Amino acid sequence: MLAYSTVGTPDYIAPEVLLKKGYGMECDWWSIGAIMYEMLVGYPPFYSDDPMSTCRKIVNWRNHLKFPEEAKLSPEAKYLISKLLCNVDQRLGTKGVDEIKAHPWFEGTEWEKLYQMKAAFIPEVNDELDTQNFEKFEEADDQIQTSAKSGPWRKMLSSKDINFVGYTYKNFEIVNDHQLPGIAELKKKSTKSERPSIKSLFEDESVEAPNQPVKGSFLSLLPPKLDASEQ
């Protein structure tokens, strides 16, 4: 069964997701390839300053997937990434995860003992307010930095939440890009779903007499309407 919804972080979205032609679990192996590239090189394979340019690069991955010489990747690493960042029908993992686990780059990996092995890097965390392991970004405008630590909403957040201002997930929707047919464009959602009323939550639409509350319904607890003569 194929899915058609567009979800994911732009840097790691597979091309078949952006092209909206339907996708399966193979898109996750593409994301694994993008994450592997970032961990070995230092930045995502199709990085750009804006999401739209990133999406264009992903759709045209044949022209933009390059391995910098300074990263000094092994031939096995390049081959594995190339077999993950490719067309769906040629992507490693389409026949199961064993295809990936058997790749030469993972030679010597004891998969059954992963949970017992000591991690290669263990981050130092002093307390719940410690943000030293997060990358620091320069603020483009001093006003933005000031407003992030002030305002009426400031009282609604705990002290530990303030330390992570700026790491909030942004929700985007996909619309067609008229400049490049076949590719989608990321835009932030502006519509909000309406909150359901109490009546809509407890009303049974299958009852023929909508004015009569269902037995055991919350509506039966409400006082009856007054007649015009009683008002």
Residue 121's SS3 state is coil
Beta bridge partners of 175: 185
- Using a 10 angstrom Cβ sphere, with 0-12 exposed, 13-18 middle and 19 or more buried, the burial of residue 12 is buried
Buried (b) or exposed (e) across 183-222, using 16+ Cβ within 10 A? bbbbeeeeeeeeeeeeeeebbeeeeeeeeebeeeeeeeee
Topology at the third CATH level for domain 10-108: Transferase(Phosphotransferase); domain 1 (1.10.510)
Measured in degrees and rounded to the nearest 5, phi and psi for residue 185 equal -120, 140
Domain ranges of the chain: 10-108
Which candidate, 97, 105, 93, places its Cα nearest to that of 14? 93
Instruction: Classify residue 31 by its DSSP letter.
Output: H
* pLDDT, one tens digit for every residue, the chain (231 residues): 778 777 778 899 999 999 988 899 999 999 999 999 999 999 999 999 888 999 999 999 999 999 999 999 999 999 999 999 999 999 999 999 999 999 999 999 999 999 999 988 899 999 888 888 887 877 665 544 444 444 444 444 455 555 555 555 554 544 455 555 555 445 555 555 555 555 555 555 444 444 554 454 445 555 555 444 444
Q: The tokens 């305002």 sit on which residue? A: 151
- Residue pair 19/183 in contact (Cβ under 8 Å)? The answer is yes
| pTM exceeding the 0.85 threshold for the entire prediction | no
Distances (CA, A) of 17 to 7, 23, 40, 85, 176: 8, 6, 25, 13, 13
Cα 9 to Cα 91: distance, rounded to the nearest angstrom: 20
